[in-house]
Chain A
Amino acid sequence: MTGRLMELTTEQRAEMAPFAQAWIERALDCSGVVDWDRVRDGMQRCYEFANVAWHDRVVVVANPFVGALAFSIASRLLRHDAVHDAVGDAVGVAVGVAVHDAVRDAVRVAVGVAVGVAVYDAVRVAVGDAVGGAVHGAVGGAVGGAVRVAVGGAVHGAVHGAVGGAWRRYLAGQWSWGWEAWVGFFMERCGVAQGMRDRYDAYRDAQLAGWWWPHRQFVIVCDRPLHVHREQIAPTGWGSHRLHSRSEPAIVWRDGFGMSWIDGVFVANRIVQEPWTITVDECDREANAERRRVMIQQYGPEIRSVRDDQYDGTRQYLVDSGARSIDFDGGTQARGSAPRALVEDRRGERWLIGTDGSTRRVYVMSVPREARTCREAHQMINGGLDESLCVAEC
């Protein structure tokens, strides 16, 4: 192709959404076995593009925690043998940066030169952000945060200094595929920057598994997980999905190791695996408001109660915690309306308790602390609609 790509065809525009969706499905597909030969080959080619000698020592680990610890410890041990290297080079930081610069950034720059700004941004939004939001934003970022909390302290205590922080320099594998999809659309559907196709293919292949840490003497790479549970909360783009499961860890790796999120809030596995052990005092002590909210939702001493998306332990929590009644009335009087109560818990938070009118369920809804009556509380959470104009509830 000569000249810059200044406009997408109708066909290319129509292809963007399904192209992004295919990348999302591949990124989250936990059913297949990783093609490790292809991954190794991709890594080797990345090293070659980065002018780093290939060592052919690729160690597969089960999950990111193991990878972060293993990389930190191995880097620390090998550092003693690398007295002539700068610290960063010895721990492999320089290798990761070299791969990033020589492959990923080089491809991105080539694509940027080959296409107009409007086209570049249109594909970034429609493809890159769609995949990024569904995969990296929902999963990769959340896992990164959890590993940072759990592993960071342990690593810092064991291998302090420059080496202790080196584990953060991983390349994110399948969970960074927003970039691969964005650039891939230009490569595969628009035929631009074909001079960089070898580098793109190498990087894409190296990224087919989980997080990986390139080092001058080895690579540590994570296996893909066994399952990932997310929920959609916006149509597309960054913030479109979050990790969520109330009955089992949202991510479980093939070695059985799992981590839990509810509504995108990171919680201890016990909160989803043994929710009947949650106590009122424990909920009240929790300083993080979001975590307290999901703990109360999971609350309930009955072991057999299934914590699915319909379960809400708030009602039981309010009874057990000695909440007090603020108001009680007969509902809106529209067809389907029913009695409801406004109650206040021990921390002063207020809740409207009622039924929807057709599912036989009782719901507990958080309302502002300023609410003084059931009617006022409902109008505060319905966007200010006047209850007297309600014609039916169900």
Chain B
Amino acid sequence: MKTIQDQLSAIQTAAESCDVDVRIIKSMEIGQFPRQGDIYVTRVADDHPRGVALDSRQLAIGNTLGSRHVADESWNVYEGTCGTADGEELLGPCIHSDTGGAITHPEHADLHLPPGTYQVTHQMDARTRDRVAD
């Protein structure tokens, strides 16, 4: 894979043959995370700091299709107050479910997560030093 064209071809081939089925995750340790598009959903302790309960189930800000990462009715959604990694500007909501539930998106595969508390964080755009605008 010496040339960029070769590498891009390999990436394109992998993209076209990707697995579009729902990702069912039966167990997760604290600190583990799945990625759905440009959000990361990290398992945290149940006493992870959180803010007030939110009405919105959308986990990314915005009104575009790409921002429609939505926690289903299984989840309680709270304002995020404590990140899991660097950069508070990347902080998203904190979610909790006693039964586990899905995070859906109109384009990305759904995520089914086991019961517990999770902190959402966003990917960063290195050019703007802010969260990616999905």
Q: Do A and B form a real pair?
A: yes
A318 to B11, CA, bound (A): 15
Q: Do B108 and A356 have beta carbons less than 8 Å apart? A: yes
Q: Is the CB of B64 within 8 A of A383?
A: no
Contact B14–A339 (Cβ < 8 Å): yes
Given contacts A336-B19, A339-B10, contact A234 B126 (CB under 8 A): no
Contacts of B1 in A (CB 8 A): 325, 328
Cβ-closest chain A residue relative to B16? A360
Which of B5, B109, B110 has the most CB atoms of chain A within a 10 A radius of its CB?
B109
Whether B121 pairs with A382 at a CB distance below 8 angstroms is yes
Which parts of A380-394 form the interface with B (CB within 8 Å)?
A: 380-386, 389-394
| Contact between B86 and A391, CB atoms less than 8 A apart | no
- CB A328 to nearest CB in B, in angstroms, measures 5
A215 to B2, CA, bound (A): 69
A343 touches B4 (CB 8 A): yes
A216 at the A/B interface (Cβ < 8 Å)?
no
Q: Do most interface residues of chain B lie in helix, strand or loop, or is the interface mixed?
A: loop
Instruction: Scan residues 278-305 of chain A and give those whose CB is less than 8 A from a CB of chain B.
Output: 289-290, 293
Query: Is A319 a contact partner of B5 (Cβ separation < 8 A)?
Result: yes
How many residues of A are counted as interface, with CB atoms below 8 angstroms from the partner's CB atoms? 54
Q: With a CB–CB cut-off of 8 A, which chain B residues contact A270?
A: none
* Alpha-carbon gap, A355 to B35, bound state (A): 12
The reply to whether B14 and A355 contact each other, CB–CB distance below 8 Å, is yes
Query: Is A263 located at the chain interface by the 8 A CB criterion?
Result: yes
Contacts of A359 in B (CB 8 A): 18, 37, 107-108
Query: How far is B4's CA from A360's CA once the two chains are assembled, in angstroms?
Result: 19
Q: A11-53 toward B: CB 8 Å interface, digit per residue (1/0)?
A: 0000000000000000000000000000000000000000000
Q: A231-B133, A358-B18 are in contact. Are A392 and B25 (CB under 8 A)?
A: yes
Q: For residue A264, which residue of chain B has the nearest CB? A: B133
Q: Which residues of B contact A (CB under 8 A)?
A: 1-5, 7-8, 10-12, 14-16, 18-20, 23, 25, 28, 31-37, 40, 42, 61-66, 83-87, 90, 107-111, 121-128, 132-133
Q: Which 6 A-B pairs have the closest CB atoms?
A: A383-B85, A355-B15, A394-B109, A338-B14, A358-B109, A384-B85
